[in-house]
Structures are given as structure tokens and as C-alpha cells.
Amino acid sequence: MHSEVVASRSADPKGSSSRNGSGAPSLDSVSLAIIEQLQEDGRRPYAAIGKAVGLSEAAVRQRVQKLLDQGVMQIVAVTDPLTVGFRRQAMVGINVEGDLDPVADALTAMPECEYVVMTAGSFDLMVEVVCEDDDHLLDVINKRIRALPGVRSTESFVYLKLKKQTYMWGTR
């Protein structure tokens, strides 16, 4: 298990903390540098981050808290599902009749659904499902996902081997 920082970005060269046109907080270069420091090591001490970005420990602590409060990033422990008893993962493509929101909301409420996105393309929704075993996966897909009102069809992509899982996309 290790810590990761999951961050979204919106650069603001003037360094203001206002919101940009999309409603996302605008971030200055120092905040972006703090995020990058935490993405390298989510447990890095604020004093070390401050030294790297040119701020005091207290200023870094304040900025990190603001980034957390604004929902710009989260600091979380990321586990390998296999090591904690989840032996089957799959991506499920879902086609929906009618409004996507109720189906997406129902999927979001399912603990096995770790990732739910609305997409453009062959599927209306893509859902990453993490289960204990094949029987659990079958139950989730057959009795819970396919049973949702509005679900027209599903296609499952069972993971055979996880080669890369990272949240290190940086702050470009």
C-alpha cells in the first residue's frame, strides 16, 4: 500500500485562487509544484515540500489544506486489490435507454464500482468493478447492474493482469 495524491488541474499564471471559466479553482505555479511533490510521495513532510517550492512549512500546510478543501486533490492510500482479497477486476461497458444520470447514480452507490464515467463512443457508461472472485463479479453484473432500470446492454472486459495503475499524470 502506498499514498497517492489524486489531483485535477487548472493553471493560472497570475497565481490567483479564483475560479476559472469552467468553475474549477485556478492554481498558481506554487500550488502545482506542491501537488507534484505530493504525487511523488503523499507522505512527504511539509517542511521538505516547503524547501522544494520556496515556502515555509506553515504556508505549505495552509495551501495543502486549501487544495483539499477546494476538492482539487485528495491524499489517499492506494492498495493493490489482489493483496486485500479482491481477485477479480473488470471494466464494464454499459448502454442505457433514456437518461444516463439515474443509472450512473445507482452505479456510483454500488461499493464494487470503483470508477464510473459517462462516455462518448460505443458505450454510454464505463464502470470499473472490483470483486472478490468470479462469482461475485457475475452477481454484480447479472443481478445488480443489468437489473437497473434503463440498462439496455453490458459488455464486460475482465482484467487478466494489471500492468500499470497510477495517478501520476502530473499537473501539465
49-108 pLDDT per residue, tens? 999 999 999 999 999 999 999 999 988 877 777 777 778 999 999 999 999 999 999 999
Instruction: Tell me which residue of 92, 144, 87 sits closest to 114, measured CA to CA.
Output: 92
pLDDT score of 20:
54
Kindly tell me the burial class for residue 25, based on how many C-beta atoms sit within 10 Å of its own C-beta (0-12, 13-18, 19 or more). Answer: buried
Contact call for residues 90 and 158 (beta carbons, < 8 A): yes
Beta strands in 66-124 (DSSP E): 73-78, 88-96, 113-118
- pLDDT bin (cut points 50, 70, 90) of residue 13 is very low
Handedness of CA 74, 20, 32, 126 (dihedral sign): positive
User: In this model, does residue 42 exceed pLDDT 60?
Assistant: yes
Instruction: Tell me which residue of 140, 137, 166, 135 sits closest to 151, measured CA to CA.
Output: 140
